[in-house]
Structure 1
Amino acid sequence: MTTRAPASTAGLVILLLTAAGWGLNWPAMKLLVGELPPLALRAWPGLAGAAILACLALAMGESLAVRAAVLPRLILISLLNVTSWMGLAIFSLYWLSASEAAITCYTMPIWTVIFAWPVLGERPTARRLIALAIGFAGVAVLMLGHGIEIGLAKLPGVLFASGAALLFAIGTVVTKRWPVTMPPLAGAAWQVGIGCVPLMALSLAFEAVDPASVPASRWLLLAYAALVPLCICYAGWFAALRRLPASVASVGTLMAPVVGVIASATALGEPFGAREVLALVLTLGGVVLAARG
């Protein structure tokens, strides 16, 4: 059975703001890699973001109670959407540049479109396939503009980033097929919190962390990572996913690597010219076309 659910305006606005917040996190992570071990770099801001979300949920009158019937789905979605994404993506940066890692991680729409058909009945219409191609054309222009060269030396990074994309896509369709019926902020708090627990456990077991060695300016970036991509953006992602078809939501995330490159150009002085502008136009065109069904 073919499903062609329309995309809501509110869902699209939330999605684009979420993708922008995630995109801005790539240059922040680029500056932080090397200051802290990788797992700690993700676990600390993640647990802080979960605590902020929990406080906001209580302030809004939402209950943090979790029904026993929902708990297995909640854990599974958290492991797919948070643990695997955050853990694998950060390790990819040891073999790939920030641009290469972002571009490879955001191949997730390919996997989402593939999985959404058998699991959700979202048959990929011709328009959405064209939208996907246009969106990836933008990412390809961006990749070529930075002279990316993938060789055997970068294979571990490619595998880590591709694994993050694959598992996040599975988490997307699982969330749509078997949604966790919880208030939005409470649900996001639990998912981010549960997802970061394995990362923190592994960090405590295998990493040595010296907070005193981290410059004060980097603590501001860690605060951003906790508040925006791991708090506001995850809440926004789950809110957008409730309003949009999984394939549309995943194509919309292609904005993130483009925003990341623009932010890197502004904050870090990296190149930004005709290729980056063309990439932005193509990616936005793909998002709009996908939203039209």
Structure 2
Amino acid sequence: MMSLSTAAILLYTSPVWIMIMSILFFHEKLDKRKLIALALAFAGCVLVSGISGGGMTPVGLLVGLGSGIGYGLYSILGTIALRRYSPYTVTTYTFIFAAIGSWFICRPADMFNKFSSSPDLGYLIMFCCLTALITAVIPFLAYTLGLERVEASKAGIIATIEPLVATLIGIVVFSEPLSFMSGSGILLILSAVVILSQTK
């Protein structure tokens, strides 16, 4: 439906949707600093993800934009939920419902067969648990804790450091080369975060 880089770019339209929804639902003020930071962060994500010449179908475009909106909705719904519940409660219920939803789109029988046929089941379970903890539970909990202290629109822009971190891990751990485009994207994302961190 589309290239991987295009899918990543559409996913990182989420700060745009967060800002729009924050203005509509929370009446956040849209100032020049946020607009500049948003533009820099999005441009940085485009450069880090890479610009591909691959085609895109209408369905792919809708799915990609839907992923950005859905990703952004966590900030909005999380902010609303934090008015009544703690970040730990919000994160717990988020993953409970995510697990239930995942159950309907995965193939439980295939998963059971793969686990049961594994020669080292204990290692596989430990690997899955650690992966879930490090790549999902801790990041989402940290983000939810941040939503208590930062406006949703700012949190969405700051979260664009995710592709930056992925690029740096690729360079350090997997010895991937740093292209001029990726380096420029990293600088743009960092500039966006610095702009948002400045006090008026």
TM-score bin (small chain): 0.7 to 0.9
Q: CA deviation at 1:204?
A: 4.1
- Please tell me whether residue 176 in structure 1 is matched to residue 82 in structure 2: no
Query: Contact between 1:137 and 1:282, CA under 8 Å: does it hold in 2?
Result: yes
Give, as a single letter, the amino acid of the residue that structure 2 aligns with 1:163. Answer: G
Cα deviation digits, residues 166-197 of structure 1 (max 9, x gap)? 02223322332453523332331221122221
Give the match's secondary structure for 2:148. Answer: helix
Cα deviation digits, residues 51-104 of structure 1 (max 9, x gap)? xxxxxxxxxxxxxxxxxxxxxxxxxxxxxxxxxxxxxxxxxxx8543x443332
Q: Give ranges in structure 2 of 5+ residues lacking alignment.
A: none
Q: CA deviation at 1:227?
A: 1.0
Structure-1 residue corresponding to 2:97: 194
Q: CA deviation at 1:202?
A: 3.0
Q: Which of 210, 213, 234 is matched with 2:140 structurally?
A: 234
Residues 54-69 of structure 1 mapped to structure 2, 5 A cutoff: none
Structure-2 residue corresponding to 1:83: none
Structure-2 residue corresponding to 1:138: 44
- Please tell me whether residue 106 in structure 1 is matched to residue 12 in structure 2: yes
The 4+ residue runs of structure 1 with deviation greater than 6 A are 214-220
Query: Contact between 2:87 and 2:141, CA under 8 Å: does it hold in 1?
Result: yes
RMSD between superposed Cα atoms in Å: 2.9
Same amino acid, percent of matched pairs: 21
Query: Contact between 1:96 and 1:158, CA under 8 Å: does it hold in 2?
Result: no
Give, as a single letter, the amino acid of the residue that structure 2 aligns with 1:261. Answer: T
TM-score w.r.t. the length of structure 2 is: 0.81
Residues in 1 aligned to 2:63 and 2:166: alpha-carbon distance in whole angstroms: 19
Query: Contact between 2:44 and 2:184, CA under 8 Å: does it hold in 1?
Result: yes
Task: Describe the shift of the 1:149–1:266 C-alpha distance in structure 2 as closer, same or farther (beyond 3 A).
Answer: farther
Give, as a single letter, the amino acid of the residue that structure 2 aligns with 1:291. Answer: S
Residues in 1 aligned to 2:186 and 2:150: alpha-carbon distance in whole angstroms: 22
**Matched length:** 195
Residues 1-150 of structure 1 mapped to structure 2, 5 A cutoff: 95-97=2-4, 99-143=5-49, 146-150=50-54
Q: CA deviation at 1:265?
A: 3.4
TM-score w.r.t. the length of structure 1 is: 0.58
Q: Which of 208, 214, 228 is matched with 2:110 structurally?
A: 208
Residues in 1 aligned to 2:192 and 2:120: alpha-carbon distance in whole angstroms: 40
